[in-house]
Amino acid sequence: MSEILEVVGIQSELFWEDVDRNLDHFTKKLDTISNADLIVLPEMFSTGFTMNPEKVAETMQGKSVYWMVQQAQKKAVAITGSLVIKEKESFYNRSVFVFPDGSVQYYDKRHLFTLAGEQEKYTSGSNKLVVTYKEWKICPLICYDLRFPVWSRNTENYDVLLYVANWPQPRITAWDTLLRARAIENLCYSVGINRVGVDDNKHKYSGHSTIINPIGEILSELPENEEGIIKATFRKSELKAIRNKLGFLNDKDQFTIKQ
């Protein structure tokens, strides 16, 4: 079992609906990263959060997933972030998790952001994903999912909860608060990677990317409104010690979620 997991997140501006420019931008940022096991990119990292999926959507064989596979193999790391993906006649806000060998798993965003009309353009996912990587169990979720603790609840005994986001500045206090709450209530490491900058709809994003330990302590965070790299070392021994001492997950409620 891998005792240590080195996690890195990239807080960045995004170029509006410009896949090639975003991929080039992140290639340069990835070239500066070493000693990582997992690299986390923001939500819709190749386009920004767009309600024009018909304009930018790709397939799982498209250039963005291919780029992720290339980068994962080149750097011998896992890479994850969300993309606009089309399957048949449906569009998905899809979290893609690429392993160092180039294999892929994915999760489709469950909670679509009705305030922006996301449900009118995208199809909701129905299956929660828990990835096993280096014998760490990782649950990737997307932005608005953060507001729904039942969906995020640690019923699978995962170790790490990931949120990738385009979370706007006016509601950043909720982001800060809920990220810490999800870590505490699920006794897990929690990673939230948000973007910065202003998109073409004039929405401002201030970042606040943060990595939090299972008792709610901040391990790493980035300055507001600045691009940057965030990193932390996760330790199995620390996670097990906290869970064994506190035991809160043993008392969790049992429930089922309607699809």
Taking only the tens place, the pLDDT of each residue in 140-177 is 999 999 999 999 999 999 999 999 999 999 999 999 99
The single-letter code of the amino acid at 147 is R
Residue 130 sits in a domain of what CATH number? 3.60.110.10
Specify if 152 maps to a domain. yes
d(CA 85, CA 93): 7
Domain that holds residue 163: 4-251
Question: With bands split at pLDDT 50, 70 and 90, how would you rate the model's confidence at 96?
Answer: very high
Mean pLDDT for the chain overall: 97
In the chain, the percentage of residues whose pLDDT exceeds 70 is 100
pLDDT the model gives residue 192: 98
Whether 221 is a known active-site residue: answer no
Among residues 13, 17, 58, 109, the one annotated as catalytic is: 109
Specify if 173 maps to a domain. yes
- Please say if the pLDDT value at position 117 is more than 90: yes
pLDDT by residue (tens digit) across 198-241? 999 999 999 999 999 999 999 999 999 999 999 999 999 999 99
Specify if 88 maps to a domain. yes
d(CA 192, CA 11): 10
Question: With bands split at pLDDT 50, 70 and 90, how would you rate the model's confidence at 82?
Answer: very high
Specify if 256 maps to a domain. no
In the chain, the percentage of residues whose pLDDT exceeds 90 is 96
Q: Is 44 exposed, middle or buried (0-12, 13-18, 19+ CB in 10 A)?
A: buried
Give the count of domains, the chain: 1
pLDDT the model gives residue 1: 54
Specify if 257 maps to a domain. no
Among residues 13, 128, 143, 221, the one annotated as catalytic is: 143
Q: What is the mean pLDDT of residues 31-38?
A: 96
- Please say if the pLDDT value at position 259 is more than 90: no
d(CA 72, CA 101): 7
Whether 226 is a known active-site residue: answer no
Specify if 147 maps to a domain. yes
Specify if 259 maps to a domain. no
pTM value is 0.97
Question: With bands split at pLDDT 50, 70 and 90, how would you rate the model's confidence at 258?
Answer: confident
Give the start-end residues of each E strand in the chain.
4-11, 38-40, 78-87, 90-98, 104-108, 131-133, 136-142, 160-164, 189-193, 196-198, 204-206, 210-212, 218-221, 228-235
Whether 109 is a known active-site residue: answer yes
- Please say if the pLDDT value at position 2 is more than 60: yes
Among residues 17, 43, 118, 221, the one annotated as catalytic is: 43
Specify if 148 maps to a domain. yes
